[in-house]
Structure 1
Amino acid sequence: MQVCVLGNGQLGRMLRQAGEPLGISVYPVGLDAEPGAVPFKQSVITAEIERWPETPLTRELAQHNAFVNRDVFPIIADRLTQKQLFDKLGLATAPWQPLSSAAQWPEIFARLGELAIVKRRTGGYDGRGQWRLGPADTAQLPADCYGECIVEQGINFSGEVSLVGARDRSGHTVFYPLTHNLHQDGILRASVAFPLVDIARQQQAESMLSAIMHELDYVGVMAMECFITPGGLLINELAPRVHNSGHWTQNGASISQFELHLRAILGLPLPPPVVKGVSVMVNLIGTAVNYDWLKLPLVNLHWYDKEVRPGRKVGHLNLNDTDTDRLSATLEALTPLLPADYHSAIQWARQKLQ
């Protein structure tokens, strides 16, 4: 079995690693690769990114019948059509509307309240291409945003969670437990996942993500990010791929999200993953590798072998144990081995474990 992954970043790398024990050859390919050098005609094709420029390779792949979810990516990659999908299915999300001109602002604040979240329809992630604006701040918005953005109501949420699940071609779905996430400056810093969850919240999330995957006839892993509010979960965004908040599954579940995605797109068995204890994932962002992390026996290092630059995801640490006290103690021991800007995220994770 053979899979080509459009995109050769860390997600493609981890898909390749997940395929090796199963005898699945996975080829992550850059967008500018020459079509003749890519074995896509004999492969099932997937992607680690939602949106890509037109290149000779992507033009070839766009015509390939084995490109799984080929027609779904444009819907989810555009926040306008993504929000329209939620509304069509009656799924809870923050009140929103398209942003067409500056003349809309008085009506927007009257309808949505004093805090507006502006997001570019396409592109923009990890906090980029987004603005938090009050009535006195609208002049800060670049002029080219009008007609290219949506605006949402700022939500007063108590926490952020994500649900990672998968669907096969027959419509069978499986899910991991909800993952608690902490974002700083728009970038995921840490995640905590428990094997025992709030049943009502888990059922609500699974119902919402199932409705989306069935409507789109989606095959593979999809992630759904949500806000926790007194009225229940509100969907923030979707990712039609393996997701940063699911990295803990590499060491905390019987089947990782990467293996689960390969199983789904190749028609292999898709049993529910068994979750082993409590997991913590710490994103490594613009941080040089420190092999002293490996002195701690619960720490699993996943290093992407990328040039270290400010704001760039260069790896992650996974910790897993059935004993939350031992896990918390390991996090405490890890704290001085990380830069100071990680300390609040480590403290957040330790509080989640209590």
Structure 2
Amino acid sequence: MSRLWVLGAGQLGAMLKTAGRPLALDVVPVDIDTIDALHLHEGDVVTAEREQWPETLATRQLASHDRFINRDVFGTLADRKTQKALIDSLSLATAPWQTVTTDTRADALHTALGERVLLKRRTGGYDGRGQHWLKAAEPGEIPEGWHDQAIAEQAINFDEEVSLVGARDSRGNCVFYPLTLNLHVNGILMASLAPLQRLQHLQEQAESMLGTLLNELDYVGVMAMECFRVGDQLMINELAPRVHNSGHWTQAGAHMSQFEAHLRAIADLPLAPPMTKGITAMVNLVGTERNNQWLTVPPAELHWYGKSVRPGRKVGHININDSRPAVVRSALMALAPELPENYKAVLDWLAEHLRD
């Protein structure tokens, strides 16, 4: 079997490597700052755990390989301007937006987009970073250095945030996981829950939207689509051409995790429709020290990334899966005393939606 190289050696690369072991796939995450010569062969495959990367010796070696899957897609989706233009070109729903040019002023944005306007840096920015609110009730200007480097979006009064993870192989076969309900706090994903029966009527709509994008891009592998739910309509917020945080629940809740699905697709192995197991709650561990007491709570499964802990940094996640929602709720409550105080609201949110 060919070697599968991953551009990037963060937690997503590590989880791809773990997912490859049962399939006897040789998955090699590569630190972008390595100065080692990489011995790539013609039959090897290259993928990425990130949308963009600086030019280094390692990234030059990987990005120049003939079998770098989706290489031409990353530039389009990593830039929010070209990503939004693609969504518009396919007549898919998204928030009204415009480019912030040299001459753009805040008052003109309010006239075009409304009283609340969200500025997003065109590249970079994640977990709430690289964003700036303009509110007519609190007069302000576009920050210095943001002209020609950002887009402006109309604020959407959404009901919920959901996401869909799907995979496509080189023959155009697509498979999708159930819609996932997500909770963000200060722009950081804190919890996910799937599947939920009450979201099932939106599944076909979501699959049609993401399937249209996958086919238009001739994409191979896993892609995540983050959406706002406004009534019974979905609006695309952002796309991620890779395995995604909101799909981590699939490690416990499906017969094939998103990581395995991605590897199957890029290694040209058969894809199968994911079969879910009960219901899964995923709790992100953000800026908190490891606590081995989490391991005493069945059926909680800890995924610890081995990273240094600092405020706002994702350092792990916990998956809780069972066919009985009451068991999942009980596990969440058992975890509560072992997590920082700010997690009470997160666990309460999960418990509440488990009743739906």
Range into which the TM-score falls when normalised by the shorter chain: over 0.9
Residues 17, 29 of structure 2: 8 Å contact kept: yes
Deviations 1:257-278 (A, max 9, x none): 0000000001101000100000
Q: Equivalent residues in 2 for 1:141-160 (5 A)?
A: 141-160=142-161
Count residues in correspondence.
Answer: 354
Q: Which amino acid aligns with 2:179?
A: L
Distance 1:308 1:210 in 2: 37
Structure 2 unmatched ranges of 5 or more: none
Q: Which moved more, 1:54-63 or 1:32-41?
A: 32-41
Q: Give the deviation of 1:330 after TM superposition.
A: 1.3
Q: Equivalent residues in 2 for 1:1-354 (5 A)?
A: 1=1, 2-34=3-35, 36-39=37-40, 41-101=42-102, 103-135=104-136, 137=138, 139=140, 141-194=142-195, 196=197, 198-230=199-231, 232-354=233-355
**Aligned-partner SS, 1:50:** coil
Change in CA separation of 1:40 and 1:110 when aligned onto 2, cut-off 3 Å:
farther
Residues 167, 221 of structure 2: 8 Å contact kept: yes
Distance 1:129 1:115 in 2: 17
Q: Which amino acid aligns with 1:129?
A: G
Q: Which amino acid aligns with 2:310?
A: R
Which is helix-richer, 1 or 2? 1
Q: Give the deviation of 1:329 after TM superposition.
A: 1.4
Q: Give the deviation of 1:35 after TM superposition.
A: 5.4
**Aligned-partner SS, 1:84:** helix
Q: Which moved more, 1:132-141 or 1:43-52?
A: 132-141
Q: Give the deviation of 1:41 after TM superposition.
A: 4.8
**Aligned-partner SS, 2:46:** strand
TM-score (norm 2): 0.96
Distance 1:320 1:91 in 2: 33
Q: Give the deviation of 1:219 after TM superposition.
A: 0.2
Residues 167, 264 of structure 1: 8 Å contact kept: yes
Structure 1 unmatched ranges of 5 or more: none
Q: Which amino acid aligns with 1:309?
A: R
Residues 105, 142 of structure 2: 8 Å contact kept: no
Residues 4, 40 of structure 1: 8 Å contact kept: no
Distance 2:91 2:185 in 1: 30
Q: Give the deviation of 1:157 after TM superposition.
A: 0.5
Q: Give the deviation of 1:327 after TM superposition.
A: 1.1
Distance 1:82 1:138 in 2: 29
Root-mean-square deviation (CA, aligned residues, Å) is 1.4
Distance 1:198 1:119 in 2: 29
Runs (4+) of structure 1 exceeding 4 A deviation are none
Q: Give the deviation of 1:294 after TM superposition.
A: 1.2
TM-score (norm 1): 0.97
Q: Which amino acid aligns with 1:244?
A: N
Q: Give the deviation of 1:326 after TM superposition.
A: 1.5
Residues 35, 60 of structure 1: 8 Å contact kept: no
Residues 248, 282 of structure 2: 8 Å contact kept: yes
Deviations 1:252-311 (A, max 9, x none): 100000000000001101000100000000000111111111111110000011111111
Residues 4, 44 of structure 1: 8 Å contact kept: yes
Deviations 1:235-257 (A, max 9, x none): 00000000000001001100000
**Aligned-partner SS, 2:105:** helix
Q: Which moved more, 1:286-295 or 1:57-66?
A: 57-66
Change in CA separation of 1:138 and 1:266 when aligned onto 2, cut-off 3 Å:
farther
Q: Give the deviation of 1:196 after TM superposition.
A: 3.8
Distance 2:136 2:71 in 1: 40
Residues 69, 266 of structure 2: 8 Å contact kept: yes
Q: Which moved more, 1:327-336 or 1:131-140?
A: 131-140
Q: Which amino acid aligns with 2:271?
A: L
Calculate percent identity across the aligned residue pairs: 55
Q: Which amino acid aligns with 1:87?
A: D
Q: Which moved more, 1:108-117 or 1:90-99?
A: 108-117
Distance 2:59 2:299 in 1: 41
